[in-house]
A and B are shown apart, each in its own frame.
Chain A
Amino acid sequence: MELVKKVLNNDRASIAKAITLVESSNPKDKDESKELISSLINHPGHSIRVGFSGPPGVGKSTFIESFGTYLVNKNYKLAILAIDPSSNLTGGSILGDKTRMSEISKSQNTFIRSTPSKGSLGGVSYGTREASIILDAAGYDFIFIETVGVGQSETMAANLVDIFTLIVGPGSGDELQGIKKGITEYADIFIVNKNDGDLKLQASKTASDYKSALSFYSKQDNQAAKEVLLVSSIEQQGMDSVIDTINEIIKFNKLNKIFDARRENQLSYWIKEEIRNQIQSKLDLEVGNDTELLDMTKAVIKGEINIYDVSDHFLDKFLK
């Protein structure tokens, strides 16, 4: 496949087109997409995938601009997948993340791609996992996956990365609420942004709140300690602590075989998801267009049959 070769050569336009292919909602693109991913997966690079999530308004993109610039200045090659949640029902999306990444987007060592989430659950979009395989094969040192964190979505985002980071702003107890809900399960690093100007005091208070909340969380054996870091994106302060922490956790995880175990888990999760998706789409295709369904629904309303008999009936029919 010509596209494979070009992606491996880090050809910018080809990487972009490969991502378009895996994100396509047209079923006709599916085979080509499968072929592409199957070959690229045999050419793994050395990328570390880092997830950045957090509620709207905490400055995720601004942080990535600042941290990313810091990394690029240290000669790292960096790819960013920004999943943009702004999407309205009837129309298209306005992807504005890049307006906050004006410096980093200039660098030849970056590749920045925004994707509308199209309202898909989990803040990650269809194709994000495949896109990170493409970028890994293309030779990036880091792949950042930026998602908006709302409730349960962190689970899915965390399932795509080696390190999961939660970005929060100073103040607001809402995020602490999240800690109790069990976000700690997924997040490896907590970054308190906006540690600057008037907000400095508030930021360090928030950081200690997180630290004390984390102290109630019982660390399992063989697990890297979760860290709380204070940064200022606009002053580019604290970026060294972020990269150091990432490197330490990766080192620890590799040493303790957690790194590979995570990736294995994610792979089997992916396989299951793939099966689920395929069954789902076949089911939708067959049952969704069945006129019998309509008739039987009417019968259920009239009380002639019971709903479970109907679903069993269709399941039998489908499995045949």
Chain B
Amino acid sequence: MNKKNNKDDQLTEWKKKFEAETKTSRADNFIINTDEDIGIKPLYIEEDIKDLNFVDVGSLPGHDPYTRGPKASMYVNRPWTIRQYAGFSTAEESNNFYRKNLEAGQKGLSVAFDLPTHRGYDSDDEIVMGDVGKAGVAIDSVEDMKILFDGIPLDQMSVSMTMNGAVLPILASFIVAGEEQGVAVKDLSGTIQNDILKEFMVRNTYIYPPDPSMRIVADIIEYTSREMPKFNSISISGYHMQEAGADNVLELAYTLADGIEYVRAALSKGLDIDDFAPRLSFFFAIGTDFFMEIAKLRAARTLWYKIMKDFGAKNEKSLTLRTHCQTSGVSLTEKDPYNNIVRTSYEALSAVLGGTQSLHTNSFDEAIALPTEFSARIARNTQLILQNETGVSNTVDPLAGSYFIEKITDEVASKAWEIIQEVEELGGMTKAVNAGIPKLKIEESATKKQAKIDSGDRVVVGVNKFQNPKEPKIDVLVIDNEKVREDQIKKINLLKGSRDNKKLEKSLNELTEDAKNGNNLLYSAVKAIKNRATIGEVSKALENVFGRHYATSVGVSGVYGKYFEGNEEFMHVTKKIQDFEKLYGRRPRVLVVKMGQDGHDRGAKIVATSFADIGFDIDMGPLFQSPKDVAKDAVENDVHAIGVSTLAAGHKTLVPELMSSLKELDPENKIIVFVGGIIPEQDYDFLYEKNISAIFGPGSNIIESAEKVIDLISDKNNQ
């Protein structure tokens, strides 16, 4: 009997056995569809990896198409870099934290900035009252930057900075801080995120409109390719897309399409591809779909190689995709939070098996607040254990050759490639972003995911199944936002009192001129920062020419409701809403808003679209509103309720202000205010005291929340 026949016989036998064991009639029908719409079969065999589109199964690591890794030796020579992203409210605290981590074995550091810094506002700006020190460190000038890196030699430490909106003043401050520490510009190493396109899609921490923003990206790539050979000029990020609800194929496709757009922007500056492409880096999210995440990283390298080859790159470093990864924040739950340690561990393993170059593991309390010292230690140890105890580093790309992994790597690559071609047909990512297409697709994907969880289609342990009857209480980090703001304002005043205003003004004018005439803006930004301009002043000097960008977007309707056709609970709530409409002559009306500088609008969008599908009339407020604006909007539209989505700890200042603004505009208002998002439990009482009617944490079931809201509205209007 020859080998082939033997295999066929085996397969027939396997099918028979499978069908008997599972009591199904056809093994071929046993397919599980992933979020990416990839059908996962119960068994993969040699046949599956014949004739693949992109993957060359026999290829080796460090060799094209680099599916198995950018380097030949990978972790065998040096394990991935443990790089924990952190930023406490002030430069002093953050500095302290970095130093401790460096002593504890961390090799690189990663800075999280607060929201006003991202959006180019100084801490003393009225508009950011509730946002200072939230979600990261407040940096107002080079003086803060110097404190941030005090005692940390910038010629030895690689620094990663998550900054996209205010990239120019922040990178300039980093350069000047280095210089004043005695480090030459050319010796600085690290990465700046500088990925503005995804901001327009998902994260919304942009300042200027897409076109001038793309020019700034190109300016930075040009500057770094000339002056900072060890610095990564951009970190092309899919992370925030997945966080906003994109599936792995969307994340991969849009990230690579962004990459293509940045390469074109740099080429338009007259740079040679191999001058800057070696310094392009990537950043992906690693969620709970274990194998799909591994496939994504392998597919990413494979496709990037093809893309760069087509651009004519020759340097191997240009052809290889090197990436940082972070475990998924959105996969973490507020319920039974210690489960998050387990989730993060699997995600970390997935990233490592996918061949990441560096990794951040989330702390288990990140669904609720910034990490504490305790939770941060466990997060770091998750990686230390992987590196030191499990043996995962001993062989390169250990999953290669697996029929399953090779096949889904190719499927992910093929699907992503299709989307990339669609973007190309639209004329590239800037045009696609301007048309709002990627944003809409990601929102649609997010709403689908939410519907799968709410309908019980997808199990989330501790949330929609296996709930813990005794929820543990955990300590979370509390930030005194008022104090941080006061301290920052003091420092700003000190700076403003001691600088040479004539020199400053001259350099700010130069910056504005350069914005008009097309000179590279980073050179003049460095000058202005040296002359002690604040981050806000530099941003403003450019805003005078570029203007500020305001996003407009409405959610997609119908996606959520489709999952619940005939669902009893859904119909039950819908019925309540119809009864309300009959009684009051209109549908219950809810204003969904975000306040302050927090631009993460996935939650708000999902609530808006699903509530509308259930039967509410939904008013969408613009992003970045002040509580006063929201109150005016609510009163003018005579809404029954306001839903505030908050993910960046602004609730303690912004929500009370909203309540008093409402009272002022309409002392007898019957408006119900409910809050959703990331709110630590110890703040619940504070909010209830301010007359907040309901609080919905991460993982709340939308239909249940909708029922609560319609009940609250009905009760209030019955009084």
A residues within 8 Å of B by Cβ?
A: 12-13, 15-17, 19-20, 23-26, 28-29, 61-62, 86, 88, 90-96, 98-103, 105-106, 111-114, 116, 197, 234
Contacts A24-B586, A88-B558; A98 near B619 (Cβ below 8 A): yes
Contact A13 B669 (CB under 8 A): yes
Chain A positions within 8 Å of B574 at CB level: 90
Contacts A26-B582, A62-B552; A99 near B621 (Cβ below 8 A): yes
Contacts A99-B553, A100-B552; A93 near B638 (Cβ below 8 A): no
Would you call B282 an interface residue if the criterion is a C-beta within 8 Å of the partner chain's C-beta atoms? no
Chain A positions within 8 Å of B624 at CB level: 102
> In the complex, which of the residues A16, A86, A103 contacts B637, with contact meaning CB atoms closer than 8 Å?
A16
Contact B622 A105 (CB under 8 A): yes
Chain A positions within 8 Å of B626 at CB level: 106
CA distance A112 to B636 in the complex (A): 6
A sample of 20 cross-chain residue pairs with beta-carbon separation below 8 angstroms, ordered by A number, consists of A12-B635, A13-B668, A19-B638, A26-B582, A86-B557, A88-B612, A90-B613, A91-B558, A91-B612, A91-B614, A92-B614, A92-B616, A94-B612, A98-B622, A99-B620, A102-B623, A105-B632, A111-B636, A114-B637, A116-B587
**How distant is A138 from chain B, measured CB to nearest CB, in Å?**
12
Chain B positions within 8 Å of A95 at CB level: 617-620, 637
With most chain A CB atoms within 10 A of its CB, the pick from B209, B577, B638 is B638
Contact A24 B638 (CB under 8 A): no
> In the complex, which of the residues B584, B586, B608, B623 contacts A94, with contact meaning CB atoms closer than 8 Å?
B608
Contact B585 A29 (CB under 8 A): yes
CA distance A197 to B209 in the complex (A): 13
Would you call B272 an interface residue if the criterion is a C-beta within 8 Å of the partner chain's C-beta atoms? no
> In the complex, which of the residues B582, B609, B620 contacts A98, with contact meaning CB atoms closer than 8 Å?
B620
CA distance A197 to B212 in the complex (A): 12
With most chain A CB atoms within 10 A of its CB, the pick from B583, B584, B617 is B617
Contact A94 B557 (CB under 8 A): yes
CA distance A13 to B669 in the complex (A): 8
Would you call B643 an interface residue if the criterion is a C-beta within 8 Å of the partner chain's C-beta atoms? no
**How distant is B593 from chain A, measured CB to nearest CB, in Å?**
10
Whose C-beta in chain B lies nearest to the C-beta of A235?
Answer: B547
Contact A25 B586 (CB under 8 A): yes
Contact B585 A106 (CB under 8 A): no
Contacts A88-B558, A102-B550, A105-B633; A116 near B617 (Cβ below 8 A): yes
Chain B positions within 8 Å of A20 at CB level: 586, 638
Would you list which residues of chain B between 221 and 255 have a CB under 8 Å from chain A? none
Would you call B554 an interface residue if the criterion is a C-beta within 8 Å of the partner chain's C-beta atoms? yes
Would you call B666 an interface residue if the criterion is a C-beta within 8 Å of the partner chain's C-beta atoms? yes
CA distance A26 to B582 in the complex (A): 7
Contact A16 B636 (CB under 8 A): yes
With most chain A CB atoms within 10 A of its CB, the pick from B614, B623, B666 is B666
> In the complex, which of the residues A15, A96, A106, A116 contacts B554, with contact meaning CB atoms closer than 8 Å?
A96
Chain B positions within 8 Å of A17 at CB level: 638
CA distance A100 to B211 in the complex (A): 19
Chain B positions within 8 Å of A13 at CB level: 635, 638, 665-666, 668-669
Whose C-beta in chain B lies nearest to the C-beta of A103?
Answer: B550
CA distance A29 to B211 in the complex (A): 51
A-B pairs, 10 with minimum CB distance: A24-B585, A96-B554, A26-B585, A13-B666, A102-B622, A16-B638, A92-B617, A91-B613, A100-B552, A20-B638
Q: A12-B632, A88-B613, A94-B555 are in contact. List 8 more A-B contacts (CB 8 A).
A: A13-B635, A16-B636, A23-B585, A25-B586, A62-B552, A102-B622, A102-B623, A105-B629
Whose C-beta in chain A lies nearest to the C-beta of B588?
Answer: A92
Would you call B611 an interface residue if the criterion is a C-beta within 8 Å of the partner chain's C-beta atoms? yes
> Which size class do B's interface residues fall under?
35 or more
**How distant is A152 from chain B, measured CB to nearest CB, in Å?**
25
**How distant is A34 from chain B, measured CB to nearest CB, in Å?**
14
Whose C-beta in chain A lies nearest to the C-beta of B555?
Answer: A94
Contact A91 B615 (CB under 8 A): yes
CA distance A170 to B550 in the complex (A): 22
Contacts A99-B622, A102-B550; A92 near B636 (Cβ below 8 A): no
Contact A96 B585 (CB under 8 A): no
Chain B positions within 8 Å of A25 at CB level: 581, 585-586
**How distant is B119 from chain A, measured CB to nearest CB, in Å?**
14
**How distant is B702 from chain A, measured CB to nearest CB, in Å?**
13
Would you call B625 an interface residue if the criterion is a C-beta within 8 Å of the partner chain's C-beta atoms? yes
Would you call B259 an interface residue if the criterion is a C-beta within 8 Å of the partner chain's C-beta atoms? no
- Per-residue A-contact encoding for B562-602, CB less than 8 Å = 1, 0 else: 00000000000010010001111111000000000000000
Chain A positions within 8 Å of B586 at CB level: 20, 23-25
Contact B618 A94 (CB under 8 A): yes
**How distant is B202 from chain A, measured CB to nearest CB, in Å?**
16
CA distance A24 to B581 in the complex (A): 9
Would you call B178 an interface residue if the criterion is a C-beta within 8 Å of the partner chain's C-beta atoms? no
CA distance A106 to B628 in the complex (A): 8
CA distance A106 to B558 in the complex (A): 31
With most chain A CB atoms within 10 A of its CB, the pick from B609, B616, B632 is B632
Contact A91 B550 (CB under 8 A): no
Would you call B459 an interface residue if the criterion is a C-beta within 8 Å of the partner chain's C-beta atoms? no
Chain A positions within 8 Å of B666 at CB level: 12-13
**How distant is A118 from chain B, measured CB to nearest CB, in Å?**
9
> In the complex, which of the residues A12, A93, A103 contacts B612, with contact meaning CB atoms closer than 8 Å?
A93
Chain B positions within 8 Å of A116 at CB level: 587, 617
With most chain A CB atoms within 10 A of its CB, the pick from B555, B577, B583, B633 is B633
Would you call B561 an interface residue if the criterion is a C-beta within 8 Å of the partner chain's C-beta atoms? yes
With most chain A CB atoms within 10 A of its CB, the pick from B561, B585, B608, B618 is B585
Chain B positions within 8 Å of A23 at CB level: 585-586
**How distant is A215 from chain B, measured CB to nearest CB, in Å?**
34
Whose C-beta in chain A lies nearest to the C-beta of B616?
Answer: A92
Chain A positions within 8 Å of B581 at CB level: 25
Contact A98 B621 (CB under 8 A): yes
CA distance A114 to B625 in the complex (A): 18
Chain A positions within 8 Å of B623 at CB level: 99, 102
**How distant is B111 from chain A, measured CB to nearest CB, in Å?**
30
CA distance A19 to B637 in the complex (A): 9
Chain A positions within 8 Å of B584 at CB level: 24, 26
> In the complex, which of the residues A92, A98, A105, A112 contacts B615, with contact meaning CB atoms closer than 8 Å?
A92
Whose C-beta in chain A lies nearest to the C-beta of B619?
Answer: A95
Chain B positions within 8 Å of A102 at CB level: 550, 622-625, 629
With most chain A CB atoms within 10 A of its CB, the pick from B574, B622, B665, B669 is B622
Would you list which residues of chain B between 264 and 308 have a CB under 8 Å from chain A? none
**How distant is A108 from chain B, measured CB to nearest CB, in Å?**
8
Would you call B551 an interface residue if the criterion is a C-beta within 8 Å of the partner chain's C-beta atoms? yes
Whose C-beta in chain B lies nearest to the C-beta of A79?
Answer: B636
- Per-residue A-contact encoding for B326-365, CB less than 8 Å = 1, 0 else: 0000000000000000000000000000000000000000
CA distance A19 to B585 in the complex (A): 12
**How distant is A64 from chain B, measured CB to nearest CB, in Å?**
12
Chain B positions within 8 Å of A234 at CB level: 209, 547
Contact B583 A26 (CB under 8 A): yes
**How distant is B590 from chain A, measured CB to nearest CB, in Å?**
9
Whose C-beta in chain B lies nearest to the C-beta of A107?
Answer: B632
CA distance A112 to B552 in the complex (A): 17
With most chain A CB atoms within 10 A of its CB, the pick from B209, B551, B635 is B635
CA distance A16 to B636 in the complex (A): 5
Would you list which residues of chain B between 658 and 692 have a CB under 8 Å from chain A? 665-666, 668-669
Contact B622 A93 (CB under 8 A): no
Chain B positions within 8 Å of A197 at CB level: 211
Whose C-beta in chain A lies nearest to the C-beta of B211?
Answer: A197
